[in-house]
Amino acid sequence: MAVPYRWHVYCACVALALACNYVLGKDMSWDTLNYHLYLGFSALNDRFGQDYFAAGPLAYLNPYAYMPFYAMVGAGLPALVICSVFAAAHSIILWLTFELGVAVCPSADGRTRVFAGSCAVALAFMNPILMQQIGSCFADITTAELAFGGWLLLAGAVRVPRISPVICAGLILGAASALKLSNALSAISAFAMFAMLPLGWRGRIRHGCLYGVSLGVGFAVVAAPWSYRLAKIFGNPMFPMFNNVFRSPEFTTESMGSANRFIPESIGDALWRPFAMIDPVRMVHEELSAPDPRYAILIALIILLVLRWAWGRLRKASPSPSDPQLNESTRVVASLGCGLGLNWILWLQVSGNSRYALTMACVAAAVIVGMLFRLFESRPKVRNYILAGILVCQAVQLFVGAEYRWNGVPWGGQWFDVSVPEKLKMQPNLYLSLNTQSNSFLAPFLAKDSGLVNVGGGYILDPDSANGARVVALIRRFSPNLRVAFLTSKPYENAGHPAPSPPVDEALIGYGLRPDMADCATITVHGLPPELEIRYQTSLPQEPQNRDTTYVATCRLIPDTTDRSALIARQRAVNLVFDRLEDACPKLFRPRRLATAHYGDVWRRLYEGTDIVAQISFGRVKFADQIRPNGVIDVGSENDWAKAPFRLDCGRRKGVYFAHVLPASP
C-alpha cells in the first residue's frame, strides 16, 4: 500500500540533519587528522612507493569510503559546505529507518504507517552516536547506510519471498563490509532473518545460500583492487588485519587494536550492558558519554510481550481472525528481532563499540516501534503516551549527559588552514614523524613526491625488523632529503641560530640519523583543537600547548656517528624486563614483543590491544591505562625483574586494570 507524505518525511530528515550539523559545529577528531584525509588522498594517489605506515597501521584500511572527503577538501570547498554535503548524505539512514518503521507497522492505514515510520526516525535520530557523526567525515554512517539498505531489502523478502532482493541485499552488504569491515557483523547477522521466511526449510536454505554467494561477490568486487595491492606488497590482502592468518613479517601476528576496550568482562557484565548504556558516563560503549536507553526499552518490551502471550495462554483466549497485513508485518518484526539478537551477541564479542553498530541501532528503533504498536494496538492513546515518554526521557539524557563532537571547532574557512614553508612545497623530502598522532593529513600539502613514515607512533617500527628494512630502503632512496617531523609548542625556524634540540634523537638513532637543529622549518596549522596528541606519563616536563595554533616542526636529518654500544646494551636489558612482564601477564600486555621506544629517561612499550603503556624509568617498572585515567601501577624495581621473572595476579575489574606481585613459588 502506498504511504502518503513519504517525500515530506525525507525532506524533513534532510533538514534535521543539516540543522544538527550546523548547531554542533565542525568535528576535528583525532581520526580525521591521523588517517581520514590521508586515506582519501592515498586512494587517488599511489603512495605505496613513497610512504610507509604514514598513519600507522590505519594507513592500510580500505580507503575508498574516504575519497569524497579528500576530493571536497582538495577542491577547496568551505568546511561548512563539505559538512553539509555529508549531513545531507547521512540523512539517508533516517529515510531507510522510516521505511523500516513503515514495514513493521501492523496497521493498513496509511496515516498510521507514516506515524510509525516517523516515530522510528525520531528514535533512531536521538541516538547520541548518530548525532555525533552527522556531518563528520567518519565513514561509519555512510557505510552503515549500505548495510541498512541490505537489511531493508531482506525485510521485504521476508514479507514477500523473492530472489532478486535477497541477491541485491547480499551484494550491498558485501560492499559495505569491504568498505568498512565492522559492517561484516551486520552482514553475518542477517542470515538469522532467513529463519522467518514463509517458505519450507529447502526454500530457506536456497535463499540463504544465494545471499551468502552474493555477499561474497559484493565483498570481493569492492575489496579486490585494494587487497591486491596489499597482498602484492605485504603478502596479506587484509593487511594489517588478520595477520595471525597471513603472517606478514611486517606486522605483529597477535591481536592488535583498541576494539577490546568495550568488550564485557563477564557474562554478567554482558547482560547488564543494555542498562549500563543508560548512564551518561564515558567509556561504556564509546569513549565519549553517549547515554542510550533504547536497548533497555527493547528488553522491557520483549518481557511485556512474553507476559501477554503467557497470560493469553493461561486464559486460553481464542486467537483473533487472521489478517494478512498483520501476519506479514509481524513476520518482519520477528525476522528483524532474530537478526538483531545475533548482531548484539556478535557485537559484544567483537568490539562492544557503538560507533560500529549504527545499523543495529537504527534497526532497534524500528523494532521498538513495531513492538509498541502491537502491544497497544487497541489502546493507541496509551501507546502514544509511552512513545512521548520515551522521547522526552531520551531528550533529557541527550541534553544533560551526551557529548556530540570529539573535538568541535567553530565554522569558518576551509576544513584545514595549513601554512607550509615554500621550500617544503617545492622540495620532495622523506618525513619521519614521531607522534602517536601521525599528522598524515599534511601529506597533500607537501611537495608532490614527498614521503611519510610514522616511525615512533602507536606502532613503533623496529629498526632491526622487516619494518626497519623498509624504512632504511626509503631513507636511501630520498637521501639526503630527509626530515624529522614532530609536534611542538613553538615554531622552530632557522634564523641563523640553531634551535633548541627536542627529545627526539633517541627515536632516530636506530636508523643512524639525528636532527640538524640549524636547519628547521615549521608547518603552522590553525583551527585545531588542543591536546590531540596522546601524552604518555614521563618525568620530562610537558610544554603548554597553544590553544589556537598547532606547530609541526621539521628539521633536516643528517648521519649520526655516535657510539651506540652502551645504548644497545641498555636496550637489551630493558627488553628482557618487558618480555618478562608480558609473560607474567599475557592477558594485559597484548600484543607481545613489540618494539621498545626510548624518550629521555623513559623506556616504554605500547600495547594497543589493551590500551596499556608500560614503562621503565628511574629503576621502576610501571604501567597505566592510556585511555582511562586510573593512575600508574608500580609492579616492582627493574633490578628485581632483571634478576628473575615475577608472578603477577593481574586483570581488569569494572574497567580498571590491576596487578599485584605474588610471592615466589616455593
Give the mean pLDDT of the chain: 89
In this predicted structure, what is the pLDDT of residue 495? 47
In this predicted structure, what is the pLDDT of residue 323? 54
> Worst-scoring range by mean pLDDT, 77-91, 181-195, 247-261, 468-482?
247-261
- At residue 537, does pLDDT exceed 70? no
Bridge partner residues of 623 (DSSP): 614, 633
Confidence of residue 97 (pLDDT cuts 50, 70, 90): very high
Q: Give 524's Cβ-side CA count (13 Å radius).
A: 12
In this predicted structure, what is the pLDDT of residue 609? 84
Do 507 and 599 meet the contact criterion of CB atoms below 8 Å apart? yes
Confidence of residue 544 (pLDDT cuts 50, 70, 90): very low
What DSSP assignment string belongs to 438-465? --GGGGGGS-TT-EEEETTSSS---TTS
Q: Is the pTM of this model over 0.95?
A: no
- At residue 499, does pLDDT exceed 80? no
Angle between helices 358-375 and 380-401 (to 10 degrees): 150
- At residue 401, does pLDDT exceed 90? no
Confidence of residue 624 (pLDDT cuts 50, 70, 90): very high
Q: Parallel, antiparallel, or unpaired for β 602-607 and 612-617?
A: antiparallel
Burial status of residue 296 (CB atoms within 10 A of its CB: 0-12, 13-18, 19 or more): middle
Identify residue 547 by its one-letter amino acid code. R
In this predicted structure, what is the pLDDT of residue 316? 65
C-alpha cell at 62: 580500505
In this predicted structure, what is the pLDDT of residue 2? 65
In this predicted structure, what is the pLDDT of residue 317? 56
> Worst-scoring range by mean pLDDT, 61-75, 185-199, 413-427, 546-560?
546-560
Question: What is the Rg, in whole angstroms, of the alpha carbon atoms belonging to the chain?
Answer: 27
Q: Which of 390, 364, 366, 386 is nearest to 375 (CA)?
A: 386
Percent of the chain at pLDDT > 70 equals 92
- At residue 534, does pLDDT exceed 50? no
In this predicted structure, what is the pLDDT of residue 294? 92
Q: Which of 182, 173, 174, 98 is nearest to 139 (CA)?
A: 182
In this predicted structure, what is the pLDDT of residue 255? 73
- At residue 503, does pLDDT exceed 70? no
pLDDT tens column, 285-306: 998 999 999 999 999 999 988 8
Distance of CA 145 to the CA centre of its chain: 16
In this predicted structure, what is the pLDDT of residue 406? 85
Q: Give 191's Cβ-side CA count (13 Å radius).
A: 17
Domain locations in the chain? 6-315+332-401, 417-562, 566-662
Task: Tell me the average pLDDT across 497-518.
Answer: 74
C-alpha cell at 207: 535463499
In this predicted structure, what is the pLDDT of residue 458? 76
In this predicted structure, what is the pLDDT of residue 321? 47
CB burial string 114-125: b at 16+ within 10 A, e below: bbbbbbbbbbbb
State how far the Cα of 517 lies from the Cα of 496, in Å rounded to an integer.
Answer: 11
State how far the Cα of 521 lies from the Cα of 532, in Å rounded to an integer.
Answer: 21
Task: Tell me the average pLDDT across 212-220.
Answer: 97
More confident residue, 602 or 345: 345
Task: Tell me the average pLDDT across 598-614.
Answer: 86
Task: Tell me the average pLDDT across 507-523.
Answer: 88
In this predicted structure, what is the pLDDT of residue 538? 38
